[in-house]
Structure 1
Amino acid sequence: MPEFKLSSRRVNKLIHSAPFPRHPAGLSTLFFTEMWERFSYYGMRALLVLYLVNALEYPRDQALKLYATYTALVYLTPIIGGYIADRYLGARRAVLVGAAVMAMGHFTMAVPDLLYVALGFLVVGNGFFKPNISTIVGSLYGDNDTRRDSGFTIFYMGINLGAFMSPLVCGTLGERYGWHYGFAAAGVGMVIGLWVFATGQRNLKQGPLTARDGLVVVFTSMVTLITVLSIVGLWATFSGWWSGLSGLWQGGIGLSVVALLWWFPSLYRAGVWGLSKKSTDGANQGRRRLSRVEMHRIFAIAIMSQFVIFFWMGFEQAGGTMNLFADKLTHRQIGDWLMPASYFQSVNPLFILVLAPLFSLLWVRVDRSRFALSSVTKQAIGMLILGLGFVLLALAQEQADLYGTVGPQWLLGVYLLHTIGELCLSPIGLSMVTKLAPAQLVSMMLGFWFTAVAAANYLAGMLESLLVESGLPLYWFLVGSSTGAGLLLLLLAPLIRRLMHGVK
């Protein structure tokens, strides 16, 4: 039998060759980059609340509040990362910086004493990565290319392939063998994503990375890491967390503060601000006054961003209350095997992988027919379907209150409906922003879009505590909020379409 050697060149060819024949070759590189980044994010997300409650013995409400703060900041920092990319770094340099910083964050999660430092790295790294990878996807297509929505749906499959694998790998390692193994596995995934993106530049418009790009990425990553250490260190001096650290960690964080205040400003000015003037992907391009049409389109993005808050406020219960529902109220015993609760985090991405190709074809067919739906209408439909999912979950909660636990089919049904709603809203929303935003502000507008998601994530974690005094059941409240927002958006759709000036 002939020997088969899987060389690095062959691996590169397998990853970066175009498996999507009707789409640009660069979509393959971005698909696998995002797949591994989401592997790392969702692996950590599947473990975080369970780790806080079961390992660190956080009270339920405190664990949900920390989860809410973390996920909110994860989606808040992209507006800053988008601005820095548009103005100084360029999208691909920002992606490289974000990937490097997030990898450091995941590995740091394996050290229990550095929980807040690790979360800080993840939050800031995501700010550089998240809006700019979507910007690069949008740049693969022309303004009126009908493949754009389909391309973003395929890209969304990459997100969910990583999200499907990560709870199975990270969840098994974390819940069965030790939490730090699960977090370290997430870090390995992020390193692979960084490698895929760095080696796949030939498929993108900017061409291979230059030495100048490398210097900018290294300097910016160093500044970012030390800035996070400094902020956490300054915060820690005013909290009890600081006193619980060993002298070694106290000294290291203290030195980071000194380095930030005295040394790095001059290094950063010399290294980054000077080098970034010749970005290879359009950063720092000349600014001009926005036209009336562009202002209207930005206003349309702003209106839509307020509506998606209601969607993500409900959807992001998956990592919080629904994760705990799976852990405490769902029957998971199969013979002698107790299924890890984190495995339920793979259900939504599994449904995405099954349904996304169908939706990708569906949108192309529908958009070319006389029954074409605007992106606004698609997103409104997504909100209504999310509301149906919460009807099912509210009924499951009532059954659990009566009998102690419920069968897993309840959560499976909820995740199916939520997945259909997500496919109607999330990739369509990202595609819409890249079509509506002025060329020089695409990353910043995506960051603005993710700011709405940040607000939704924060509300998702805080909502249960906020509703306690009112006596409103959480899931019935979410039925009303998501359904009401969807119906109102349908009513406002004609007005928003006028603001979009022909963009569908």
Structure 2
Amino acid sequence: MSTPQATWFGQPRGLAILFLTEMWEKFSFFGMRTLLVYYMTKQLLIGQENASLIYGLYAACAYLTPIAGGYIADRWLGTRRAVIAGGAIMSVGHFMMASEALFLPALATIALGNGLFLPNLPSQIHGLYSAQDPRRGPAYNLYYAGVNLGAFFAPLICGTLGELYGWHYGFGAAGIGMLLGLLIYVGGARYLPPDTPRAAAQSVSERSGDVTRQIVLLVSIALVVVVFRGAYEQIGNTFAIWADQGVDRRISAELTIPMTWFQSLNPMFVFLLTPVLVIAWTRAARRGRDPSPLVKMAIGAALVASAYLMLALVLSVQASAVSWLWAALFVLLLTAGELFILPTGLALFGQLAPRRFAATVMALWFLGSFGGNLLAGVLGSLWTSMGASGFFVLMSGVAGLAAVLLLVIGRRVTEFPESQSMEFPQARRDSVTGV
């Protein structure tokens, strides 16, 4: 297809629409997630172990339903109608959170809508560019910025409303955010790529054995991401509990940091670190030293492991509540690891997904999020029995295991004689840059 006129940071107009839609969707998702554990333990009086399990089960289901949602979109609904239907269903679910009696049905409704919405939005990025367009790789960087922009404002707005004025005000703000994202998507639909014809025949490349190898590779990566997210997703689970109970949040005698604000540190650091990493990787690529995507992902998992190990060491020498500066440093290291692994994987899946099944294959990436959130919920239930220091050591080991597995996969991939025909990013790093 011809390259659309660039009107936003040198990118097609459609990317701005996808960026803003995702920004508001993530505002609603993270706004509700910021309040969820606190709402269960403080308002509904659910014990910590059960609250962590419910949190993990909800987050896992939110990333399991995209498997079905991607298949439904590719076979019947089409990408655009799936996004609209999913956004509308999620909006209803967020407003259902205003009723305590509808708490569990509301979570189920949001998860169902997310299944249609989540895989079909990023699957449209690839269609905005021709195969040779050098802007395609950086487009994923900008899209990921939309994720984090919404995630940054969500705790500040939804968290503050819920903490100071009532939980339902925070949930209501999340619902309004989802509606705004839906309106932006519908209003900017003319700038988006057309749906791939659902009855179209597969291209020659999609009928080849390369597709099977690509999918096997992507499934392997998704399974390792399950392990990684078991540690990473504690940021909204046990870390939130520790920030409330184990961190000295006082800046002065009159000023105390609200517990929900720590959830905004992660997206804030994304904005601060992303330009630094992009510049560093661009310079490395010019010198021919840019690491492959799987090596980058392994580095990211190792950074997360070091972040948890740091907290464990701090707690081993300080029994009382630790300074909020340690919590902020933890989030900084965690974010650095995130930028190496998560957007890199998203770009990798976006490139290798066969066009006719783009949403379905993209959903495999979110399969890692499903399993990882489920694992995070199970691991989070050990928080009380293990204690903070022991739990952080365990999370360091989980993230470290993911780093080792990614390196093993990377070594095996480079041994494939057909890896060039697979267009694996070691041969095309210009098209998958990975933040």
| Structure 2 counterpart of 1:30, one-letter code | L
CA contact (8 A) 1:147 1:364 kept: no
Moved over 6 A (4+): 467-472
CA contact (8 A) 2:237 2:380 kept: no
TM-score, normalised with respect to structure 2? 0.90
Q: Structure 2 matches for 1:89-488, cutoff 5 A?
A: 89-206=77-194, 280-286=195-201, 290-334=207-251, 335-399=253-317, 402-403=319-320, 405-465=321-381, 473-488=390-405
Q: Deviations over 1:118-139 (max 9, x none)?
A: 1011101111111111101122
SS of equivalent to 2:248: coil
2:42 maps to 1:54: yes
Deviation for aligned residue 1:177: 0.3
CA contact (8 A) 1:167 1:343 kept: yes
| Structure 2 counterpart of 1:19, one-letter code | W
**Separation in structure 2 between the aligned mates of residue 430 and residue 375 of structure 1, nearest angstrom:** 10
CA contact (8 A) 1:92 1:136 kept: no
Query: After the TM superposition, which of the residue ranges 412-421 and 147-156 deviates more from structure 2?
Result: 147-156
| Structure 2 counterpart of 1:375, one-letter code | P
CA contact (8 A) 1:149 1:363 kept: no
TM-score, normalised with respect to structure 1? 0.78
**Separation in structure 1 between the aligned mates of residue 354 and residue 142 of structure 2, nearest angstrom:** 24
2:407 maps to 1:490: yes
**Separation in structure 1 between the aligned mates of residue 223 and residue 285 of structure 2, nearest angstrom:** 25
CA contact (8 A) 1:81 1:131 kept: yes
Deviation for aligned residue 1:298: 0.8
Q: Deviations over 1:67-120 (max 9, x none)?
A: 010000011111110101111111121111111111111111111110011101
**Separation in structure 2 between the aligned mates of residue 496 and residue 145 of structure 1, nearest angstrom:** 26
CA contact (8 A) 2:123 2:359 kept: yes
**Separation in structure 2 between the aligned mates of residue 86 and residue 118 of structure 1, nearest angstrom:** 27
| Structure 2 counterpart of 1:388, one-letter code | S
**Separation in structure 1 between the aligned mates of residue 189 and residue 285 of structure 2, nearest angstrom:** 31
SS of equivalent to 1:57: coil
CA contact (8 A) 2:234 2:380 kept: no
**Separation in structure 2 between the aligned mates of residue 32 and residue 476 of structure 1, nearest angstrom:** 38
Cα–Cα, structure 1 residues 399 and 195, in superposed 2: closer, same or farther, change >3 Å?
A: farther
Q: Deviations over 1:207-250 (max 9, x none)?
A: xxxxxxxxxxxxxxxxxxxxxxxxxxxxxxxxxxxxxxxxxxxx
**Separation in structure 1 between the aligned mates of residue 238 and residue 272 of structure 2, nearest angstrom:** 25
| Structure 2 counterpart of 1:285, one-letter code | A
Deviation for aligned residue 1:17: 8.3
Aligned to 2:430: none
Deviation for aligned residue 1:502: 3.1
| Structure 1 counterpart of 2:359, one-letter code | S
Deviation for aligned residue 1:65: 0.5
Query: Which one of 416, 419, 423 corresponds to residue 502 of structure 1?
Result: 423
Query: Which runs of 5 or more residues in structure 2 are unaligned?
Result: 426-435
Query: After the TM superposition, which of the residue ranges 159-168 and 306-315 deviates more from structure 2?
Result: 306-315
**Separation in structure 1 between the aligned mates of residue 308 and residue 187 of structure 2, nearest angstrom:** 43
Deviation for aligned residue 1:492: 3.2
Cα–Cα, structure 1 residues 144 and 377, in superposed 2: closer, same or farther, change >3 Å?
A: farther
**Separation in structure 1 between the aligned mates of residue 190 and residue 363 of structure 2, nearest angstrom:** 26
Deviation for aligned residue 1:417: 0.8
Aligned to 1:20: 9
Deviation for aligned residue 1:458: 0.8
Structure exhibiting the larger radius of gyration computed from Cα positions = 1
Count of equivalent residues: 413
CA contact (8 A) 1:383 1:485 kept: yes
Cα–Cα, structure 1 residues 81 and 149, in superposed 2: closer, same or farther, change >3 Å?
A: same
- Of all paired residues, the percent bearing the same amino acid is 38
**Separation in structure 1 between the aligned mates of residue 220 and residue 37 of structure 2, nearest angstrom:** 32
| Structure 2 counterpart of 1:462, one-letter code | V
Aligned to 1:253: none
Q: Deviations over 1:153-191 (max 9, x none)?
A: 111111101100010000110000000000000001111
Aligned to 2:433: none
Deviation for aligned residue 1:395: 2.5
Deviation for aligned residue 1:468: 7.7
CA contact (8 A) 1:154 1:356 kept: no
Deviation for aligned residue 1:435: 1.1
CA contact (8 A) 1:149 1:427 kept: no
Cα–Cα, structure 1 residues 284 and 418, in superposed 2: closer, same or farther, change >3 Å?
A: farther
CA contact (8 A) 2:21 2:184 kept: yes
| Structure 2 counterpart of 1:409, one-letter code | L
2:84 maps to 1:84: no
Cα–Cα, structure 1 residues 41 and 469, in superposed 2: closer, same or farther, change >3 Å?
A: closer
